[in-house]
Amino acid sequence: MRRYIFKKGRRYTFLSIVLIGIVVVILLALVYYNSLKGIVERHYGDFKVLTIREAFENAFKNVSIQPSGFAIVTITAIDEMGNIYTARVTKEGLMSIAIGNQISQNPEELYKAIYAKAFYNLVLTQPIADFESSDPKNVLKYLNDVSYDYFQEDGREYVVLVGKDEPGNTIQIVYNISKVNGKIRIIAEKVFVNGKLLSDAGKRIFLAKVYKKSIEYDLIEVVKNSFLKDYPGVSIGEVFSKLNNARWTIKNEGKKMVEFNGMDVIEGKETVITIGFKIDENGETIVSYALLNGQDVDKESIPYLLSYLYNRYSNIDRNKELDKYKQIIFSTKIPNSTKTFGELFTEYATNDKWNIEYAIDSVKLSVTAQTMKNDKFYMEFIFRKDGVYLGKATLNGEETEFDVLTNVIFGNNADKVQKVKSGKIVKYSSFTNNEEAFRSYLKNPTWSYDKEKDRVILTGVGKYGTKNWNFTFVFDLYFGREPILESMYMDGIAVIDEVSDYIVSKIFKVDTLGNNLVELVKNSIFISKTYEEILGPKGWKLDRNNDRVLYTSDNLQITFAVEPAGQVKVVQLFYNGEDWTTRSYDVLKTLENGGSLISLEQSQQKPVEPEQPQEQPQEQTTTPQYGQF
């Protein structure tokens, strides 16, 4: 039998060719399929973090990706409501999206919504940086009524979650989503509470609550690494950890309070210092309380304790601190002057050199400088919880009163001030000099020299009548030697001679000087007659204890007050032992008209028909004055 080997070979060759062709077609198909799938592995538009495929797969469930026609890929997805999304993406990067059978007229906006949904789902499914061990969905347990939005800023992509916490505060958490080495990275960059941006420390504590991460260690570290508002360049831990036996403990985790305890030697004694730090609602670290050896430090004194510790244990900018306090001094008016300390040091002094010293309850600024005449002077300003005080003052090395020093600095004649102070305007007074007499009457007496008017000025607070007045006494030197009182002012009101003489009599304790006050009242006119004409020349006297003029008769007692400018007022009236002060006008008018008070007494006992109001005569121009003054 013959075999036709060549025929068999042709058959196998043909089969091989067919198989190879099929394989090639399959491979080409796979290559083509994969090349089509690569269409959705690209970014769409300005959305650069997620590819088209990743956006759909993270936004929806049941996502199907299939080639469809030549150079087109179709993505089918279903959302939570059962809506079917169909997206067609071409090789050129064009996209159309339909929901059901309705093709969107604005595919870019619809894709942005899908992309935002993908970002939102990533925040709920992917670990958050620094909270990798926590369940990302904890944010939904902390917030209610959550909504979200997507935005871009400076080339970075964000999604912000907005919701309400249990107390009802509006919370916004801003997440940045990016890719690092091909992996998704989510960082909670900002947190807003009721529109206020939390600091980094506050954000860290807040997120720890949201993601249920233990913050005991973190809270202490956050406080230690944060900065007090007045000392932004030095962390809290950098300062307080330098104290001896420094210890940090959680005081109240819920209120975000950390307590520090340490030792320091203050004024030669070992002192236990306790500081309570708190992260407030804005995320700022503040000092809530302080103790020294277990004793509370006043809230107003805490800033001075802090400045003492920061100066001692850190390299704070002392010049900046100095400038801060100098600005307060420079804006302050010099006592009994229209000028400020700023004007004094910039216009009337040279070569000023400042220094600052810290104590646990105060800050002292001292300055050395020269006057325009090259006199050297020194001043101290002490800041305490209740204000700024003037300390020591020297002139050419000799301690002096502050008002004398300022007179020299301003070029005033200090000799004239001294002459008035050492002189005596009431020669037969028991006081040694004017300064001694006025010091016995005034609170905070201050002497100065008015260069423009060439007068010596004394100011202070003294009592006259029922109130305290701001007194100003103006002195001149008669022939440059003998002081005389030229004028007097009370609360800026020029004082008439009779009142001035009376007050001088009180100051120098010489009663005869003040008797003219009685004559002033007697000669004052009520409506048309003087009080002396109405009441008579007898029964008048001066009540020096109350600075009043008294009139007394058998059945009538009247108390008069005299104001600085000379106005006379009836402040009290008794008739037959009864208080008729409210009827003073009627009493005096009746007496002025020659009537009897018996008629008034009867009218007070029996009700009378009210009279019709009558028009007042036009010629009456004097209005009597009554009431307490």
End residue of a domain, out of 265, 285, 313? 313
The answer to the question of residue 19 being in a domain is no
Same domain, 594 and 532: yes
What residues are paired with 429 via a beta bridge? none
The answer to the question of residue 101 being in a domain is no
End residue of a domain, out of 411, 430, 449? 411
Residues 6+ apart with CB under 8 A from 414: 404, 407, 408, 449
Same domain, 456 and 521: no
Do the beta carbons of residue 557 and residue 551 sit within 8 Å?
yes
* Statement: the pTM of the whole predicted model exceeds 0.75: no
Same domain, 377 and 449: no
Do the beta carbons of residue 335 and residue 251 sit within 8 Å?
no
The answer to the question of residue 616 being in a domain is no
The answer to the question of residue 185 being in a domain is no
The answer to the question of residue 31 being in a domain is no
- For residue 621, the model assigns a pLDDT of 39
Joined tokens for residue 620: 């009456």
Alpha-carbon 75 to chain mean position: 59
Joined tokens for residue 502: 């009376």
Same domain, 525 and 502: no
Neighbour-count burial of 146, counting CB atoms closer than 10 A to its CB (0-12 exposed, 13-18 middle, 19+ buried): middle
The answer to the question of residue 546 being in a domain is yes
For residue range 74-111, what is the model confidence (pLDDT) as tens digits? 999 999 888 999 999 888 888 899 999 899 999 999 99
End residue of a domain, out of 295, 313, 331? 313
63 C-beta neighbours (distance < 10 Å), count: 15
- For residue 320, the model assigns a pLDDT of 86
What residues are paired with 558 via a beta bridge? 551, 573
Same domain, 309 and 328: no
Residue (of 173, 51, 190, 176) closest to 114 by Cα position: 51
Do the beta carbons of residue 425 and residue 483 sit within 8 Å?
yes
336: three-class secondary structure by DSSP: coil
Separation CA 318–CA 315 (nearest Å): 8
Work out how many domains the chain is built from and give that number. Answer: 4
Do the beta carbons of residue 336 and residue 457 sit within 8 Å?
yes
Same domain, 306 and 348: no
Same domain, 242 and 259: yes
Separation CA 501–CA 197 (nearest Å): 68
Same domain, 437 and 371: no
The answer to the question of residue 55 being in a domain is no
For residue range 448-484, what is the model confidence (pLDDT) as tens digits? 888 788 889 999 999 999 999 999 999 998 776 789 9
The answer to the question of residue 429 being in a domain is yes
- For residue 453, the model assigns a pLDDT of 86
- Strand arrangement, sheet containing 285-292: 244-252, 257-266, 269-279, 285-292, 295-296
Structural domain harbouring 330: 318-411
Same domain, 381 and 332: yes
- For residue 14, the model assigns a pLDDT of 66
- For residue 213, the model assigns a pLDDT of 64
Q: Which stretches of the chain drop beneath a pLDDT of 70?
A: 1-12, 14, 18, 21, 23-37, 69, 213-217, 336, 411-415, 480, 602-629
- For residue 267, the model assigns a pLDDT of 84
Same domain, 370 and 451: no
